[in-house]
Structure 1
Amino acid sequence: MTQLTVLICADHTYVNGGQNKVALESALGLAQAGARVVFFAACGPVDRRLAEAGIEAVCLGQRDLLDNPSRLDAARQGMWNGVAARALGETLARLPRANTIVHVHGWAKALSPSIAGPIRASGIPAVLTMHDFFLDCPNGAFYNFRREAACPLIPLSAACWATNCDSRSYAHKLWRNARLLVGRRVTRLAETFSDYVLLSDLQEKVLKGCLPADARVHRVTNPVEAEPLGHKRDPTEGDFLFVGRLSPEKGVFLFAEAARRAGVTPVFIGDGPLAAELGGRFPQARLLGWRAPAEVRAAMRAARALVFPSLWHETFGLTAFEAKAMGTPTIVADGCAAREAVEHGVTGLWFRSGDVDSLTSAIRALVNDATIAEMSKRAYDAYWAAPATRARHVAETLAVYEKMLAPIDARAKLR
C-alpha cells in the first residue's frame, strides 16, 4: 500500500500554546508511525524536533497577527493571507493524490481563511481539529470579554454585529466579524473539511448546529506529556496553583480573590495582559511568570491542587489532564470543558463557574489534608488507568484518516 502522506497546517512551527503543542506532537507521532509528514505554517522558528524526525517543514517566516508591528498589515494578513494561499497551493501540488490527508490545526492567528481555496482545489481529503471556535465565532470563544460571561448570540446575527464583545475594541470586533463573513461566504472554509475532530463533550454541545450538516465528527484525545511517577510521597505539601495565560477569560482574578478569602497563597505560572494588574491588586499572590514545560510539570507535581477557573467554555483543558497525571487534584469551573478531566468529589472538585463564593468553598475543602491525600491517589490512578499518550492520540488520528480515505461505499461500515 502507498505510504500515508499527511500535510499538517498550523499557524506556527513551534510550541506557543496548547494548539501548536498538539499539532507538533501529532506530527512527530505520525512520522514515528511510518507516515510521511509535511508541516506547513506561517510563523517560525521551526522546532528542531521536526528535522530530527525527518519531517519536512514549510515555514513562510511571517509574523502572526499579534506580533506584527503594523496593525494595517496584520489586518490584511488575517483577512486574506495571499502568500500563505499560494505557498500552500504549491506544496499541495507536489504531494501524491492517493493516500494523502490535509489536517489543519490552526489558521486564525496567521494563515487566514484563504487556505480554503488551495485545499479544496487539490481534491485531497481535509480534516480540521477544532482547538478553538474561530470557525463559528468571531472572537473564537463564544465569550463576551466585556461582560466576562459566555455569549449566547448567534454569530453574525444583527445582535452579534451590534455587540462589542471583543477584548480589544469594537473596531477589532467588526474586523473579526468581517473575517468570519469572508470565511463563510467567500472561501467557504467550513465546507472545505469533510471531517472534524472535536475534543470534548462540551465542545460538541456548543457546536451543535454550527458545523456543516454532512460533516463527519470524530473524537481524538489530545496527547498529554507526562511520566508515571507513582503516588506522591506527601500530597498535602505545596500550594494552590494556576497554569496558563493571565487573561480575563481564564478567571485569574476570580482565583486570586477566592484564595484571599480562603486564606491561602495563590501561585500563578504564565504570562499575559493581566500580569501587572494581578500583582498590584493581589500582592500576596506569587507570580512566577512563564516557565519551560519541564518546570511546569514539576510545579504541578509539587502543587497541592491545580485551580482551573476559566470563564469561557474551553475546548479541552490540557493542564487539568496534566495535573491529573501528576496525582494533583484539580478544582475546575463547571462551565468549561476541563471539568471532563475531573470526577467531582473523587479526583477533584467542580465549582459554579464565575462564582467566587463557590470557588472559595472548594479551596477550603482541599485545605483538609485527609481529603487532598485521598483525591491525589484517586486522580493519579484514574489517569494512568487510561493515559492520554502520544501513541493513543496517533492511533485515534490514524483511525480518522482510515475512514476519510475509505471508498464512499465502505465508509458506512467504518462509522
Structure 2
Amino acid sequence: MTDMPALLSINNYHYRRGGSDGVYLDHAELMESLGWRGAFFSMRHPENLPTPWSRYFIDELEFGGDYSLPQKISMATKSVYSFEAQRKLRMLLRDFEPDVAHLHGIYHHHSPSILPVLTEAGIPVVMTAHDLKIACPNYKMLNRTGVCERCRTGSVLNVIRNRCVRDSLSASVIVAAESGLQRSMQTYRKHLTKVVAPSRFFVDKFVEWGWPREQFVHIPNYVDAARFVPDYEPGDYFLYFGRLAPEKGIATLMRAARLAGVKLKIAGSGPMAAELTELQGQLRGDTEFLGFQTGADLHALVRGARAVVLPSEWYENAPLSVLESFALGKPMIGARIGGIPETIDEAENGWTFASKDIAGLAQLLSTVAAMPDAQVARAGRAARETVEKRFNAEGYADAMLSLYSSLGVKTSSRGLVRQERNT
C-alpha cells in the first residue's frame, strides 16, 4: 500500500454551482498539492467537471423539474434514504481505500444513508457544515416569518406547519420526513467523526441545539489572495453582489441607500429580482441592477466600489464574498448577524450595523461616503492584510492536517500516512 494518504471528497455537485461546491473542489485540490491521493463521489450532472470517478456517481436528481408523478415519488424516496448511493459508494470503496472521507453537501441527493457505509468501512468521516442542516431541517433556520428555531425544542412537524421549505407544503412534508428519520436514528451524530464549522457562530449554534461541542472544530474558509488583484482607490458607489433572495436583506439596503442619498450597484440574480426592480421604481433611488456577474467582470465591479455591503437578515456562516472583497482591497459593511462580524474588525477593515436596521445602515453609508478617500483606502489595505494573514491557504491546510492527524493520520518522512488501525 502506498504511503501517500488518501482523501475521498463527497458532494452533491461536481462543479462550481455555489460557494460550498467551490470549497469542495478547492479543498480537494489543496490536499492533492500536499501529496494526497484523491477520489470523488458526487452526482451525475451535465455541468460536472471531468473526472475518472464519475463512473461511481449517483444518477442525476434535480428537484423542481418537469417530472412525472412516479419520478417525483422516486426522487422523494431517494432524498430520504438512497439505496443507490449506498450501493455505488460500496463499489467505489472496493477500488479506493480512503484514509479520510470529507463531506460537504450530501442531503437530498446522496442522503445521510451513505454515512453508515463509511462507518462500516472504518473510515473517519468529516463534514464541513456549510449550512445548518444537521440541526435545522430546512438548513437555514429561516422561513417566511424570518429567523426560526422552533425545531430546536419542538417537533419537526413545525416544518410542515410553517411551510419552511420553499414555502411549499409538499417539499416541507418530504424534508420533515427526512429530518424526523435522521433525528430518530441519530444518523449525523453517530456517524460524523468531526464537523468543521467555518464560523464560531455555527459552533455555538449547534451546541445550543444539543450537539456536543467536542464534535466540532472551527476552521475558517480561505481565499488565495495571490489570485486577486486589489485596487485600494475608493470608487463612488457601494456594491452588493450575490443571490437576490429575501434573507440577503437587499430591500433593506436599497431603502438605506435611498435614505443616505448614495449610489448603489447590485450584481446578482435570484427569486426577488422582479420584486426588487418594482421596489426601485417606488424608491426612485440611485440604484443600478447589473444582473449575474462572475469572474473578471465581477472583480472589476468590486475594485471600482467604495465598499461592499452584506446586509444579511439570516444566520450567515462565513461568506466567501467577504474574503473575496477583502482580497480585492475593499472594506466591508456587514450586518451583525451570524458569522459576519467574525471577519470584520470595526473601523479597521470595515464596519457593522444591526441587521434589518435601515436607519443605522443609512447612517453608516453616509459616513463612509463622506469619509476621506485616504481613510477608506487604509481600510481596504487592512482588509487585504486580513486575508493574507488570517484567512490564507497555509493556515487552512495546517488546521485540516491537524484535524486529520487527530483522526488517525500521522506525519512521516514522506508525508502523511494512515496509522495502522487495530482490527
Task: Trace 1:222-233 onto structure 2 (pairs within 5 A).
Answer: 222-227=221-226, 232=231
Task: Trace 1:23-34 onto structure 2 (pairs within 5 A).
Answer: 23-34=24-35
Partner amino acid for 1:101?
A: V
Which residue is 1:309 aligned to? 311
Structure 1 147/342 Cα, relative in aligned 2: closer, same or farther at 3 Å? Answer: same
Partner amino acid for 1:9?
A: I
Counterpart CA distance in 2 for 1:167 and 1:330 is: 30
Structure 1 289/245 Cα, relative in aligned 2: closer, same or farther at 3 Å? Answer: same
Structure 1 158/182 Cα, relative in aligned 2: closer, same or farther at 3 Å? Answer: closer
Counterpart CA distance in 2 for 1:297 and 1:209 is: 38
Which residue is 2:416 aligned to? none
Contact 1:191 1:212 in 2 (8 A): no
Counterpart CA distance in 2 for 1:67 and 1:265 is: 38
Which residue is 2:299 aligned to? 297
Task: Trace 1:354-373 onto structure 2 (pairs within 5 A).
Answer: 354-370=356-372, 371-373=375-377
Gaps of at least 5 residues in structure 1 are: none
CA offsets, 1:206-265, max 9 Å, x none? 111446538532122323143376763522x14211111111111121112211221223
Q: Percentage identity across aligned positions?
A: 25
Which residue is 1:318 aligned to? 320
CA offsets, 1:290-322, max 9 Å, x none? 222333233222211111111111111111111
Task: Trace 1:111-126 onto structure 2 (pairs within 5 A).
Answer: 111-126=110-125
Task: Trace 1:12-411 onto structure 2 (pairs within 5 A).
Answer: 12-45=13-46, 48=49, 51=51, 56-57=53-54, 58-67=56-65, 69=67, 71-96=72-97, 100-143=99-142, 145-151=143-149, 153-154=151-152, 156-157=154-155, 160=158, 162-186=161-185, 188-210=187-209, 212-213=211-212, 215-227=214-226, 232=231, 234-235=233-234, 237-283=235-281, 284-370=286-372, 371-384=375-388, 386-405=389-408
SS of 1:102's partner is strand
Counterpart CA distance in 2 for 1:124 and 1:41 is: 18
Point out the more displaced range, 61-70 or 259-268.
61-70
Gaps of at least 5 residues in structure 2 are: 411-418
Contact 1:142 1:151 in 2 (8 A): yes
SS of 1:282's partner is helix
Counterpart CA distance in 1 for 2:194 and 2:210 is: 10
CA offsets, 1:116-138, max 9 Å, x none? 23222222111111001111101
Instruction: Kindly tell me the number of residue pairs found equivalent between the two proteins.
Output: 399
Partner amino acid for 1:375?
A: A
Partner amino acid for 1:234?
A: E
TM-score (norm 1): 0.87
Structure 1 288/230 Cα, relative in aligned 2: closer, same or farther at 3 Å? Answer: closer
CA offsets, 1:113-167, max 9 Å, x none? 2222322222211111100111110110112x21123435516527735444443
Structure 1 211/69 Cα, relative in aligned 2: closer, same or farther at 3 Å? Answer: farther
SS of 1:223's partner is coil
Partner amino acid for 2:103?
A: V
Which residue is 2:414 aligned to? none
TM-score (norm 2): 0.86
Q: Aligned-pair distance for 1:278?
A: 1.1
SS of 2:17's partner is coil
Counterpart CA distance in 2 for 1:33 and 1:113 is: 29
Q: Aligned-pair distance for 1:189?
A: 2.7
Q: Aligned-pair distance for 1:274?
A: 0.7
Counterpart CA distance in 2 for 1:286 and 1:111 is: 40
Q: Aligned-pair distance for 1:404?
A: 0.6
Counterpart CA distance in 2 for 1:95 and 1:174 is: 37
Structure 1 268/214 Cα, relative in aligned 2: closer, same or farther at 3 Å? Answer: closer
Counterpart CA distance in 1 for 2:90 and 2:107 is: 18
Contact 2:333 2:352 in 1 (8 A): yes
Q: Aligned-pair distance for 1:273?
A: 0.7
Q: Aligned-pair distance for 1:47?
A: 5.0
SS of 1:367's partner is helix
